[in-house]
Amino acid sequence: MEEFAIHKKAEQIRDVIRYIKKFKNALILIYLDDSLLDSPLFPNHIKDICLVHEAGFKVVLVPGASRRISEILSEAGISWTIHDNCRITEPEAMPLIKMAAFDVSNQIMTAFAGEGKTAVIGNWVRARGKGVIDGFYYGTSGEIDKLQIEAIKTVLDSGFIPIFPCIGWSAAGKPYNISSIELSQQIAIQLQADKLFFLVPGAEINSNLFSIPESIALSPDGTVPALNLEELELFIKTNELSVNSSENSINSTERSVVSSETNYVSRETSEKTGLQKKIILLLQKAREACKEGVSRIHILNGSLDGSIPCEIFSNLGSGTMIYSSNYGKIRNMTREDIPAVLNIMQPFIEKGILLPRTNESLSAQFENFIVYELDGAIRACASLVPYTDGQMEIAGVAVDSICSHMGIGPKMVSFLVKRAKKKNATGIFLLTTKTADWFENLGFKNSDISSLPEERKKIWNPARGSKVLRLSE
């Protein structure tokens, strides 16, 4: 047991080293929700960002300023409205909006200075007014026209952390208020960032907040660890309408006369719906960024200490990652993979789920195996064994425990089933002692020992009592 614990610790350390090596000099853009500024975790988030920077990553920070802008406008008695996630104000509000945006950026720059890091606040965003869209005038709300890419790269190459206030200027020097979330997405796209992080308190994609389609895998704690673009489209389609319906229901309730108890429930529901709506917005921006070349976008819960380094330096992560299809891949096993495959199999061998394997036995059989490679590490294996009567056996299915929630196992089995059918297998079967339920969920059904190929019958061990499962036609 102690040996196994040490092995797991060693694997975690190897993961950290592997990720530092893989992403050294990678560009990471972080959106930091301004509601975190008053959180007791804010200093820890700043420390973590500094550690990431010291590990060799280039970091760009875009702080949200919505709450601070609202506070300052309210103190000045200036009203505003929100339309399509944009703040709509009259021109006289812009000096106060600028003051609030730079106030937030200065607070973050000061926090970096306290950690010995140099951050730079700049006006690298050329903007234009959103103008009139579908008959609606957006006033002081703007959008990015152009980024000063070379100036930003110079700051990054100098080892500094650029901070982007949510303000852009026109060529004539006119300021516009830009959504920090949209700003984060567009900067990540134009700089072709390797990672885009949205750090928002309470931002978890789980069954408490959303309806999770059955085809999307959950982690042991009930959250969605990762979504590819197809899964993301399904998730948004499943939840977008219900979130909007909830918001309309809340708005209707708030306009009516309610008791204090009902008002409390309504406020609590409103906060939940507000968080749901924000997460859906982040996922929509993530989808666009991913399609435009940002390889990975991460939705992180800013209420959790250490969420940033956990997401960067481990396969397990701490939030939800949006990725294109090249994140993990199934490929044929090579001889060089044998040590890693043996490591993955060992816990299953010790539990009696798999038969013992050795370096020699895998060397003789490696051409039957496939592996699942994730960021340069082997995280799963499985084999397809052919027999002279045309039947094929799926065997040696093992998935690293830290990735067991990602749906890799079913993908491996499905891949081998397709391969067997492509080779015109006369039957597809497997033998198992402890995982029958898992395989039955994948379409396998009980069969009889008599149906096995003659070669397989000769090595079947009655003492082990393995059940035969066969893929139903």
pLDDT in tens, 119-146: 999 999 999 999 999 999 999 999 999 9
Only one residue has tokens 């992080």, namely: 197
What is residue 141's DSSP assignment?
A: B
In this structure, what token pair is assigned to residue 372? 């699942």
Q: What is the pLDDT of residues 196-239, one digit of tens each?
A: 999 999 999 999 999 999 888 887 778 898 888 999 999 999 99
Residues 6+ apart with CB under 8 A from 297: 188, 195, 196, 197, 198, 285, 286, 289, 290, 321, 322, 323
* Three-class DSSP category at 146: strand
Nearest alpha carbon to residue 227 among 329, 327, 311: 327
Residue count (the chain): 473
pLDDT confidence of residue 114: 97
Proportion of the chain above pLDDT 70, given as a percent = 90
pLDDT class of 329 with cuts at 50, 70, 90 = confident
Residue 471 pLDDT greater than 80, yes or no: yes
In this structure, what token pair is assigned to residue 293? 């070349």
Average pLDDT of 284-303?
Answer: 94
Q: Are 429 and 391 in contact (CB under 8 A)?
A: yes
Average pLDDT of 244-272?
Answer: 55
* Three-class DSSP category at 256: coil
The rounded distance, in Å, linking the Cα atoms of 216 and 275 is 21
The rounded distance, in Å, linking the Cα atoms of 235 and 468 is 36
Nearest alpha carbon to residue 124 among 58, 198, 183, 189: 183
Residue 270 pLDDT greater than 80, yes or no: no
Strand partners, 58: 27
The rounded distance, in Å, linking the Cα atoms of 387 and 454 is 9
Only one residue has tokens 């700089």, namely: 191
Arithmetic mean of pLDDT over the chain: 89
pLDDT confidence of residue 265: 45
Q: Are 468 and 452 in contact (CB under 8 A)?
A: yes
What is residue 337's DSSP assignment?
A: G
- Report angle CA 297, 248, 269 to the nearest 5 degrees: 70
pLDDT confidence of residue 254: 42
Average pLDDT of 244-264?
Answer: 50
Residue 89 pLDDT greater than 80, yes or no: yes
Residue 251 pLDDT greater than 60, yes or no: no
- Pairing relationship of beta strands 119-121 and 125-129 according to DSSP bridges: unpaired
Nearest alpha carbon to residue 45 among 200, 159, 171: 200
Nearest alpha carbon to residue 322 among 198, 419, 192: 198
Residues 6+ apart with CB under 8 A from 63: 31, 32, 34, 104, 105, 108, 163, 164, 165, 166, 180
pLDDT confidence of residue 376: 76
Average pLDDT of 387-407?
Answer: 89
Residue 317 pLDDT greater than 80, yes or no: no
Average pLDDT of 103-126?
Answer: 96
Residue 356 pLDDT greater than 80, yes or no: yes
Residue 419 pLDDT greater than 70, yes or no: yes
CA distances from 408 to 142, 372, 431 (A): 43, 8, 20
Q: Are 345 and 81 in contact (CB under 8 A)?
A: no
What is residue 370's DSSP assignment?
A: E
Q: Are 18 and 11 in contact (CB under 8 A)?
A: no
Residue 252 pLDDT greater than 70, yes or no: no
pLDDT class of 253 with cuts at 50, 70, 90 = very low
In this structure, what token pair is assigned to residue 147? 């980024």
pLDDT class of 340 with cuts at 50, 70, 90 = very high
Amino acid identity for residue 412 in this structure: M
The rounded distance, in Å, linking the Cα atoms of 310 and 319 is 9
Residue 450 pLDDT greater than 80, yes or no: yes
Phi, psi of 221 (to 5 degrees): -90, 5
pLDDT class of 272 with cuts at 50, 70, 90 = confident
- Pairing relationship of beta strands 132-133 and 175-177 according to DSSP bridges: unpaired
User: In which element (H, E) is residue 332 found?
Assistant: strand 328-332
- Pairing relationship of beta strands 427-432 and 391-399 according to DSSP bridges: parallel
pLDDT confidence of residue 312: 82
The highest-confidence range among 8-12, 14-18, 251-255, by mean pLDDT, is 14-18
pLDDT confidence of residue 408: 87
Q: What is the pLDDT of residues 17-40, one digit of tens each?
A: 777 777 778 899 999 999 999 999
Residue 5 pLDDT greater than 70, yes or no: no
Average pLDDT of 288-314?
Answer: 91
Question: Mutual orientation of helices 94-114 and 42-54 as an angle, nearest 10°?
Answer: 70
Question: Under the phi-then-psi rule, with left for phi > 0, alpha for psi from -120 to 50, and beta for the rest, what region is 354?
Answer: beta
Strand partners, 28: 59, 195
Only one residue has tokens 């059989």, namely: 365
Strand partners, 27: 58
pLDDT confidence of residue 318: 76
* % helix, strand, coil for the chain, step of 5: 45, 25, 30
Quick one: how many helices (H) and strands (E) in the chain? 14, 23
pLDDT confidence of residue 112: 97
pLDDT confidence of residue 215: 83
